[in-house]
Amino acid sequence: MELPRYGAERLSGIRCVATQLKPEPPSEAALTSMALQRLDALAVINITGTGFTKRGGGATGYVKEAYLAHLTPQEARVLIPSGVPLGTKGNVVSPPNWNISPPMSLDVLTNQDFMDLVEGIEEEFRREYVAQDVDSDHERVIIVGVMSDSAAQKQFKDTLEELARLVDTAGGDVLQTLWQKRSRVHPQTVVGEGKVQEIALTAQTLGANLIVFDRDLSPAQVRNLESQIGVRVVDRTEVILDIFAQRAQSRAGKLQVELAQLEYILPRLTGRGQAMSRQGGGIGTRGPGETKLETERRGIQRRISRLQQEVNQLQAHRERLRQRRQHQEVPSVAFVGYTNAGKSTLLNSLTNAQVYTADQLFATLDPTTRRLVVPNGYDNQFQEILVTDTVGFIHELPEALIDAFRATLEEVTEADALLHLVDLSHPAWLSHIRAVRDILAQMPVTPGPALVIFNKIDEVDSSTLALAQEEFPMAVFISASKRLGLETLRQRIGQLVNYATSSH
């Protein structure tokens, strides 16, 4: 027998023969093992009439029937060995990654042309592998969620959908989402042993090369999961950090992203094994990268210190600019809101700015300040104010990002007033409002008064609009992309600024 020859487009070169007493097809556990080990084929022989001779000379019995199982690529055609209608409709329970034959005699089983079968299966795998490799720049991702007993099902579903959007924004393709409900997280592998096997089987079946969990993972959990699944594992925070690494444009933004990544990586170095190099590209790998643990820890600590000094210098520079604006007595307002609420689009509509916009999470990171003329709210006169677009918020914003992006968030605390933009078309808009308010409550300086602005009213039904008007009667309703309600918004901004500055 030749040595095992594993590969994405090949089988292992091993065929397994098993016997069992129950007259039934191979169990799911046996089929899962076949898939995980990429066996050429699995033959299960059912033996009946087993007993012992009077002299205790051993077991006796006869072969009643046999089953033959083999792997098939996802969405591949069914391969039928000579003389046996494998995959015959109505006779076979056939998941998408394997086929099981109908019962056959031992003579039919022994007359199979296994070499022809294996070559045909590998040719199908090879075609699928080439098709997948055409778009190799994109990670093929499986998302894994863990639902606690106290979590609401709708909230949990929204969390997984948001994670899928994050993966898409980072450049990955979500192949499937798996989840498990647990009273408590497994300390070694987050999910149970059976679910880990299911993840491994799904990753192999779909050709996934990255597993993304919906929660932060400890170094030990990452190490255990990667050793059992055989695929790289990252958590939600790493996906967000990766997006920030791609989107940061200014020097300040790039410095802050690198600082956040290094602060996240440092306590997790031991979870990456002996070969610490992860600079090959892909979700969770962009940014500073890693080398050997022994030298890199000291290097990272030194780099963090230097970055912190540079960020502090930038912070002092921003502070001087703010003081200059305040000395000129120009009022300022800051947009805040959940990511993808439309803050940059609104800034462009109000001020004719050219800020990048896209239907993506965290499309823009760097703060942008523009001048805007609004009514003063009292004597039909106009006044000039400064409007700043800030980074979008998200549920459970990583602490490293809150610290590293304090220069951006300081625009919030130093503004005379806030414009809280809400995407009313999102099913979880109420949850988004709570998330933004929770983050604002953690600010070291209490922000000024806020005006709630509901965006994308052209994409919602009348019942959603009525609910928002009932819950927030003082809010403004607009469509930034369609430029609806902007004049009303200008008037309300002028009133808000006058109230904020007069109360100082």
283, 238 contact by CB (below 8 A) = yes
Q: Which sign does the torsion angle of CA 217, 221, 224, 225 carry? A: negative
Mean pLDDT, rounded, for 192-214: 87
Total Cβ atoms within 10 A of residue 365: 24
286 or 248, which is more confident: 248
As to burial, measured by CB atoms within 10 angstroms (0-12 exposed, 13-18 middle, 19+ buried), residue 464 is middle
How is residue 131 written in tokens?
Answer: 């098709």
First to last CA, the chain: 84
Check residue 48 and give its pLDDT.
Answer: 75
At residue 58, does pLDDT exceed 80?
Answer: no
What is the C-alpha to C-alpha distance for residues 84 and 335, in angstroms, rounded to an integer? 67
How does the average pLDDT of the chain come out, rounded? 77
At residue 247, does pLDDT exceed 80?
Answer: no
Check residue 364 and give its pLDDT.
Answer: 64
Banded model confidence at residue 308, pLDDT cuts 50, 70, 90? confident
Sheet holding 382-389, edge to edge: 368-375, 382-389, 332-337, 417-423, 450-455, 476-477
- Counted residue by residue, the chain has a size of 504
Amino acid at site 464: T
At residue 85, does pLDDT exceed 80?
Answer: no
Q: Which of 74-88, 279-293, 401-415, 485-499 has the highest mean pLDDT?
A: 485-499
390 or 474, which is more confident: 474
69, 45 contact by CB (below 8 A) = no
233 — phi, psi (to 5°)?
A: -125, 130
- DSSP code, position 24: S
Lowest mean pLDDT among 68-77, 331-340, 417-426, 457-466: 68-77
Q: How far is CA 207 from CA 98, 157, 231, 437, in A?
A: 15, 24, 10, 41
DSSP characters for 453-477?
A: EEE-GGGS-HHHHHHHHHH-TT-EE
At residue 444, does pLDDT exceed 50?
Answer: yes
Check residue 80 and give its pLDDT.
Answer: 33
At residue 476, does pLDDT exceed 90?
Answer: yes
381 or 275, which is more confident: 381
- DSSP code, position 337: E
119, 126 contact by CB (below 8 A) = no
pTM above threshold 0.85: no
331, 318 contact by CB (below 8 A) = no
At residue 457, does pLDDT exceed 90?
Answer: yes
What is the C-alpha to C-alpha distance for residues 193 and 303, in angstroms, rounded to an integer? 39
Mean pLDDT, rounded, for 190-194: 90
CA dihedral 200, 203, 208, 214 (to 10 degrees): -70
At residue 462, does pLDDT exceed 50?
Answer: yes
DSSP characters for 407-435?
A: HHHHHHHHSSEEEEEEETTSTTHHHHHHH
Q: How far is CA 493 from CA 203, 210, 243, 339, 453, in A?
A: 51, 46, 32, 21, 10
At residue 56, does pLDDT exceed 70?
Answer: no
403 or 396, which is more confident: 396
459 or 114, which is more confident: 459
Check residue 213 and give its pLDDT.
Answer: 94
CA dihedral 270, 273, 275, 281 (to 10 degrees): -90
Domains of the chain by start residue, with CATH:
15-133 (no CATH), 138-319 (3.40.50.11060), 329-502 (3.40.50.300)
Lowest mean pLDDT among 25-34, 160-169, 267-276, 376-385: 267-276
388, 304 contact by CB (below 8 A) = no
Q: How far is CA 458 from CA 62, 336, 423, 425, in A?
A: 73, 21, 11, 8
Banded model confidence at residue 79, pLDDT cuts 50, 70, 90? very low
Q: How far is CA 490 from CA 58, 194, 402, 498, in A?
A: 93, 57, 30, 12
87, 69 contact by CB (below 8 A) = no
As to burial, measured by CB atoms within 10 angstroms (0-12 exposed, 13-18 middle, 19+ buried), residue 135 is exposed
Banded model confidence at residue 277, pLDDT cuts 50, 70, 90? very low
287 or 308, which is more confident: 308
The H or E element containing residue 116 is helix 114-133
Amino acid at site 150: S
Check residue 5 and give its pLDDT.
Answer: 44
Mean pLDDT, rounded, for 294-318: 76
Treating both helix axes as pointing N-terminal to C-terminal, what angle do 236-247 and 251-265 enclose, rounded to 10 degrees? 160
Mean pLDDT, rounded, for 446-460: 88
Check residue 64 and give its pLDDT.
Answer: 76
Q: Give strand ranges (E) for 131-226.
A: 140-147, 173-181, 210-213
Check residue 360 and give its pLDDT.
Answer: 66
What is the C-alpha to C-alpha distance for residues 233 and 226, in angstroms, rounded to an integer? 6
Check residue 328 and give its pLDDT.
Answer: 59
What is the maximal distance between C-alpha atoms in the chain?
Answer: 114
Cα 24–Cα 196–Cα 239 angle in degrees, nearest 5: 145
What is the C-alpha to C-alpha distance for residues 169 and 236, in angstroms, rounded to an integer? 13
Q: pLDDT by residue (tens digit) across 125-184?
A: 766 655 454 445 678 899 999 988 877 888 888 888 989 989 998 889 998 999 898 888
